[in-house]
Structure 1
């Protein structure tokens, strides 16, 4: 679906409801980098460091080994603390990426960051500054975002998709006959790259997200 891949140093977001595999997608995104001998950073605002590593290990991705070797940094941050020190973290991110030599970074999830701001204008400004810092760090970054309660194609606050270079939507499709709820993925945009406009079914397996490229959603 991503024809030729996501351009290096771009900023992408995976938008989806709970249970659609956003975190799995992020782990898989880093697994690909680690498999190619690159270094990676996973920042979680939702799980503990140990739980993230365990979850990846259970899928056969050996995050514990990569962390022990120094190829992977898994950082868990309390979202309340992050809101209080967002400026310092934003300033530290480029240095962390440069010193660690990471080629990919995942932040799971940006929605928890956005929730810290009651004012829409402040939220937009803070998240804009944060995404700018990530781009300046020169790392290919994936953010995860909860979908809006009213619209599965939009993020919770409708901000992050305008600040990123690529948007991937993971969503449920519930047929009218209620026989089986399915998962479907589509790419809304990728700047400077060609991509499929089709909606494809996928499954979350013990090896991660598997897209059925030959099938279509009707």
Structure 2
């Protein structure tokens, strides 16, 4: 055999081996494709089963495999995997069908119960699904407000102009405080407050820690209020007490005042002034607790009460010790005001607060005349 014959035969054998390998590889490729196709078929079956498990009534997908056209956030908060304690989230939640995410909010709230409202929607008794986020009709709200107002008995302070600033009057049996510096008319304010009840046939008690009984009666008569006559008729009791004596016997005095109010059947009571009582206690915590207990006893007695208090030298809007304004249901502030464009010092009154009542928040000028205090409601102090 020549070298050429050997070389040609070697090439032929190599070609046969290559052909055999290609045939083997082709069969392997066919087997892999068949296996892949079978695997894809199995995966599709599993996916369909998962979708059937987590799909809501509208066909939205849950946590199954995502297809090419699937919304990756379509199942957020939907289906059985929604977070517990999240009201309003169900199979029709956001992303479950392209609907309004707040579509059921009005319906859910239509049956909700709110204070002072009604299931029919009047007076803020829930939301009506037909009108979105509305709170019911205006007439229903006004009716509920009128009913609320009528449930609380109210009284006038008895000061012209100021009563118009209190819309509807001060709730009966309130604990009120009038705060002001010396000379602003706190005692006159308190006497006029009592005279409103006495003039209408009521009864009143005036407790003074600063003046004598005779001085109080004389001051009232100077304003034209017949306090001596009221006292003679048995409708007024003026009690002058020493502040030291009162502080030392405050425990028994609280019971005495409650009994006096009950037996006397008093409509109104004045304590002039609570500042002197506060100064009898050196320790702030003791002062607060004693004044608090005293104020609470007055409220339990069921009498409409007014306390007078000196204003703080640092802030005319707070009492000397900053206690009574937090205990009181209503606070009136009397102060001296000098406008920047005037050399004249004026007197101004402001209603700091009244619980369960609407009131003006403006500072209005007032005068102390021979007939008492008059507030100029239509005038501006600045």
Provide the residue aligned with 2:325 in structure 1. Answer: 161
- Find the counterpart in structure 1 of residue 353 from structure 2: 189
Higher strand share: 1
| Deviation string, structure 1 residues 22-49 (Cα, Å, up to 9, x no partner) | 0000000000000110000000000000
TM-score, with length taken from structure 2: 0.56
1:121-136 residue pairs with structure 2 within 5 A? 121-136=285-300
Report the Cα offset of residue 67 of structure 1: 0.4
**3-state DSSP class of the match of 2:267?**
strand
Measure the CA separation in 2 of the matches of 1:216 and 1:22: 21
Please say which structure displays the higher CA radius of gyration. Answer: 2
Residue matched to 2:302: 138
The runs of at least 4 consecutive aligned structure 1 residues that moved more than 6 Å come to none
Whose RCO is larger (CA < 8 A, sep 6+)?
Answer: 1
Equivalent in the alignment of 1:116: 280
Q: Higher helix fraction: Structure 1 or Structure 2? A: 2
Q: Does 1:35 align with 2:199?
A: yes
Structure-2 separation of matches of 1:164 and 1:82: 21
| Paired residue secondary structure (2:335) | strand
Aligned twin of 1:12:
176
- What residue is the counterpart of 1:82 in the other structure? 246
Instruction: Count the aligned residue pairs.
Output: 218
| Distance in 2 (alpha carbons) for counterparts of 1:56 and 1:5 | 24
CA RMSD, Structure 1 to Structure 2 (Å): 0.8
CA deviations on 1:128-177 (whole Å, 9 max, x unpaired) are 00000000000000000000010000000001100110010000002345
User: For residue 375 of structure 2, what is the aligned residue in structure 1?
Assistant: 211
Shift of 1:217: 1.8
Structure 2 unmatched ranges of 5 or more: 1-164
TM-score by length of 1: 0.98
State the alpha-carbon separation in 2 of the partners of residues 176 and 189 from structure 1. 26
